[in-house]
Each structure stands twice: as structure tokens, then as C-alpha cells.
Amino acid sequence: MLSIGGDSNTILIAKILGFQSVRKFEEIHLTDKHKGLNSQSGMLSSFGHGNIDTNFKHYFNLHLDGVKKLNRLKILKEKKQNNIINQEEESELLSLLLELT
């Protein structure tokens, strides 16, 4: 992930991978080429939060509700196509389709 352009966004990578601390992620995975004045932590400290874990825990939250709904929609559509969907699931499928369109 770091080599595909993620080296400037360790908050996102650490969050996706489930790290409890961005600082620990950076200690383990960042090499010297990833560190410097133009780094993410340098930018974050320039607006008052030198502690990257403060940003990680309080200011950066992923909202994966949409992704979960799309995954559920996919499952329900497959059930509908295979005629193994119950009435409750069919109602849920309709609701999701209406919500996401």
C-alpha cells in the first residue's frame, strides 16, 4: 500500500489495517525515504496536532456504512436471482435499492 502512493497517508492505511496507533505503524513500516518535512506528520503538526495518534483517534473516522450496504445489496441480489430469498430479505433489498438510487 505504501508503494502505491499511500506513503503520504499513513492514517488511512493504519485505519484500514486495524492498527491502534498510527505512530506504531509508522515506526514499523516507514523507511527513511517516507519521512521528512513534506510528510503527513509534518503537515499534521503544522496545524496544531503534532501527535498523529490524536488525529487518528479523534479526527479521522472512516464511514463504511455505504460499503456495507453495497455488499448486503450484492448478497440479496444473488439470493433473488437464485430464488432463495425470503420475504423479509426481499423487503430489505427493495429498501436498499431505493436508498442507494
* pTM of the predicted protein model: 0.42
Measure the CA–CA gap between 44 and 87, rounded to whole angstroms: 50
| C-beta separation of 36 from 63 below 8 A | no
Nearest in space to 70 (alpha carbons), one of 97, 43, 30 = 97
What pLDDT tens digit does each residue of the chain (101 aa) get? 565 555 567 788 888 888 888 888 877 777 655 555 466 655 555 554 556 677 667 666 666 777 888 899 999 999 999 999 999 999 999 999 998 87
